[in-house]
């Protein structure tokens, strides 16, 4: 058991994390959504210190004076942040599009399976959504 755990452990480096991912984690922490420890657990980051380094490097906290400041960002920094956000949104969009595609295919397959089962076993699986009729109209339908 111990050897299987050792074989699955992969040491990560700073280069293993994309810039957009680092900025996303820093932003979540600075907006109070997560603590550094919670981010480490949520995103399976191996060390809390890694997150703290990202906060020091990319965050808006003045670590020397221990105060939160809003430093003016250069146009290049703003562009980098926006590009990172665009990449993140594109990734999320692609993921959601794949999920929608798979969901559509599943719906088609399930529909085909129900059609086949109804045909093979001569039973109605789908419930017809006919509005409820009063007992009087039921009797009239049976007479005709």
- Give how far the C-alpha of residue 130 lies from the chain's centroid of Cα atoms, to the nearest Å: 38
Residues listed for the chain = 144
> What's the whole-model pTM score?
0.39
pLDDT per residue of the chain (144 residues) written in tens, 0 to 9: 444 444 454 556 556 788 889 989 988 988 888 888 999 999 988 888 988 888 888 887 665 555 555 667 788 888 988 998 999 899 999 999 999 999 999 999 999 999 999 999 988 888 765 556 555 555 555 555
The CA distance from 20 to 80, in Å, is 9
Residue bearing tokens 């665009």: 86
How far apart are the C-alpha atoms of 22 and 1, rounded to whole Å? 33
Look up residue 26 and give its two tokens. 């820093």
């Amino acid at each position: 058991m111990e050897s299987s755990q050792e074989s699955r452990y992969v040491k990560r480096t700073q280069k293993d994390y994309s810039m957009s991912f680092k900025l996303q984690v820093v932003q979540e922490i600075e907006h109070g959504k997560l603590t550094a420890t919670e981010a480490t657990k949520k995103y399976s980051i191996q060390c809390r210190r890694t997150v703290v380094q990202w906060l020091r490097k990319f965050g808006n906290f003045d670590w020397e004076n221990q105060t939160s400041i809003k430093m003016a960002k250069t146009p290049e920094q703003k562009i980098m942040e926006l590009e990172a956000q665009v990449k993140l949104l594109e990734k999320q969009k692609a993921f959601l599009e794949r999920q929608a595609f798979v969901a559509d295919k599943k719906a088609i397959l399930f529909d085909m399976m129900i059609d086949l089962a109804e045909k093979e076993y001569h039973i109605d699986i789908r419930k017809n959504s006919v509005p409820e009729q009063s007992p009087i109209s039921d009797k009239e339908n049976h007479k005709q």
